[in-house]
Structure 1
Amino acid sequence: MVEERNKKPQSNKRKKNKKSTTKHSTNERKIASRSKPTAKAANKQSHSRNRKKQQRPISKKRQPAKYHKTKNPVYTVLFNVIFYSFILFMIVGSIMFATTKNANKSVLGYRFFGVLTDSMVPRDPEKQKGGFHSGDVIIVKNIAGNAAEVGDIITFRPSITSQAFLTHRVKEKLDHLGETKGTYYITQGDANLAEDVPVNEKQVVGKKIIVVPKVGAFLNFVRENLIISIIFLISVFGFITIIRYYILNK
């Protein structure tokens, strides 16, 4: 009887051990089933990874394309040409105006005159176009004496031997004056009420092309202080260039 009693608990223990082992095995299978992805899930993960790998180099290639679109080389070249041409025109024009003290001399067929009076300030700006004020600078192109037309603003000497110059508008063009044949002009300042003395074609110097407003005092200073002005203009040119490159490359 004692032996039988001792055998029974052993059998119970074996049953318990079997149950525990079965429970552990089932749990391990569940964990394994959870941890091991299915074939479909593995395929989805591999496809998503491949798509990410394919998309990364495309985005890297697109970024520089967008960057290059912002900087168009054609526009930069045009801007450089206009910018440097304007600066050089200002420097060279100032130097030429300062060095050409003799008004009889022209530079490449052009002359620079400082305006001293307000005789060409227009009374009627809608009809009288192209006028200017004292303190302005006008650029005059050399023309033949008989090439001016009505409405042009011409620069002429009041007399053939005069060293002074006037710049007024042509009101009338004549092919003779009295019994004298030739080309004559009747001129008048836009601000004046009376006409000028008739002008012979030999007195004509040129035709007004461009008006540069309010730089007469500056150019007179350049004429009196040429070396200092050249150094100043070159310094300004360098400063503007540095600021420009800083703004564009920022």
Structure 2
Amino acid sequence: MKNEALKENIKLIGSMIIIGILLLYITFQLFIPDMTVRVFGFKPYGVLTQSMEPVIDRGDLVVVRQFELDDAEVGDIITFRTVLPETGTEEIVTHYIYSITETGGNTVIKTNRYFDEDDTPFADTWILTEDQVVGAYWFHIPYLGYITQFVRSPFGIAAVIVNIGVITAIVILIKKGKPEEQQKVEDTKEE
């Protein structure tokens, strides 16, 4: 009986630690998203365009890790913040490094989208500094970006909150029913 109680306590503590880490991660994502990669070592992004196909498809989830300029090379994939000339809005983009140059004591990074081996890559119109780079490409998961985009939408947020409420209610109801069932089983054994 003591072993069972110990196992339950260990499970409870483990669950609380995992929930605490997830809540901390979500808090970072909501309030200081630029620090997420530095603190946790990774951060996921949904890919919104076809600019990296067929290597990374629209709707894939790209996971980036800490960017180290000293280790960066032409051809590496990076994720960065830039203002899109077409819309004038700041967006998160994932492209290849086209060039890394020193200009007036500052490092300038140019990027390019995916090109076939037969094509000549052309640099994007934007010029980046190191502080605009969010992270270096680590890996990607096909189609999972669609799910993250849904969860970030108002409808997705509402769906998640409702589902958490329903699951919590089910767990509470199940736990309330357990002592009664155990008492019935014990009463049956005594007879």
- For normalisation by structure 2, the TM-score amounts to 0.54
Equivalent residue for 1:134, pick from 50, 58, 63: 58
Shift of 1:155: 1.2
SS of residue in 2 equivalent to 1:104: helix
Give yes or no for the alignment of 1:194 onto 2:122.
yes
Instruction: Quote the Cα distance in structure 2 between the aligned partners of 1:98 and 1:211.
Output: 23
Give the aligned residue type for 1:155.
T
Instruction: Quote the Cα distance in structure 2 between the aligned partners of 1:184 and 1:219.
Output: 31
Shift of 1:174: 1.3
SS of residue in 1 equivalent to 2:45: strand
Give the aligned residue type for 2:47.
V
CA distance 1:146–1:163, shift in 2 (3 Å): farther
Shift of 1:113: 0.7
The structure that is helix-richer by fraction is: 1
Instruction: Quote the Cα distance in structure 1 between the aligned partners of 2:63 and 2:80.
Output: 13
Map of 2:50 onto structure 1: 118
Instruction: Quote the Cα distance in structure 1 between the aligned partners of 2:63 and 2:74.
Output: 19
Shift of 1:108: 0.8
SS of residue in 2 equivalent to 1:157: strand
Shift of 1:219: 2.7
Query: 1:157–1:203: 8 Å Cα contact kept in structure 2?
Result: yes
The structure that is strand-richer by fraction is: 2
Map of 2:141 onto structure 1: 212
| CA displacement 1:198-220 (0-9 Å, x = unmatched) | 32222222101010110122233
Equivalent residue for 1:226, pick from 160, 173, 188: 160
Instruction: Quote the Cα distance in structure 2 between the aligned partners of 1:214 and 1:113.
Output: 12
Query: 2:28–2:35: 8 Å Cα contact kept in structure 1?
Result: no
Instruction: Quote the Cα distance in structure 1 between the aligned partners of 2:151 and 2:53.
Output: 26
Instruction: Quote the Cα distance in structure 2 between the aligned partners of 1:142 and 1:175.
Output: 21
Question: 5+ unaligned residues in a row in structure 1: which ranges?
Answer: 1-88, 123-130, 236-250
Instruction: Quote the Cα distance in structure 1 between the aligned partners of 2:138 and 2:129.
Output: 21
Shift of 1:149: 1.3
SS of residue in 1 equivalent to 2:72: coil
| CA displacement 1:163-206 (0-9 Å, x = unmatched) | 42211101222122xxx222222210105963112322222221
Give the aligned residue type for 1:158.
T
Query: 1:188–1:195: 8 Å Cα contact kept in structure 2?
Result: yes
Query: 1:155–1:206: 8 Å Cα contact kept in structure 2?
Result: yes
Instruction: Quote the Cα distance in structure 2 between the aligned partners of 1:209 and 1:116.
Output: 18
Instruction: Quote the Cα distance in structure 2 between the aligned partners of 1:96 and 1:219.
Output: 15
Question: 5+ unaligned residues in a row in structure 2: which ranges?
Answer: 1-17, 84-88, 172-191
Larger RCO (CA within 8 A; separation ≥ 6) = 2
Shift of 1:147: 3.7
Q: Which has the larger radius of gyration?
A: 1
SS of residue in 2 equivalent to 1:164: strand
Instruction: Quote the Cα distance in structure 1 between the aligned partners of 2:81 and 2:148.
Output: 23
Instruction: Quote the Cα distance in structure 2 between the aligned partners of 1:217 and 1:97.
Output: 18
CA distance 1:218–1:163, shift in 2 (3 Å): same
Instruction: Quote the Cα distance in structure 2 between the aligned partners of 1:139 and 1:151.
Output: 17
- For normalisation by structure 1, the TM-score amounts to 0.43
RMSD over equivalenced CA pairs, Å: 3.4
How many residue pairs are counted as aligned between the two chains? 129
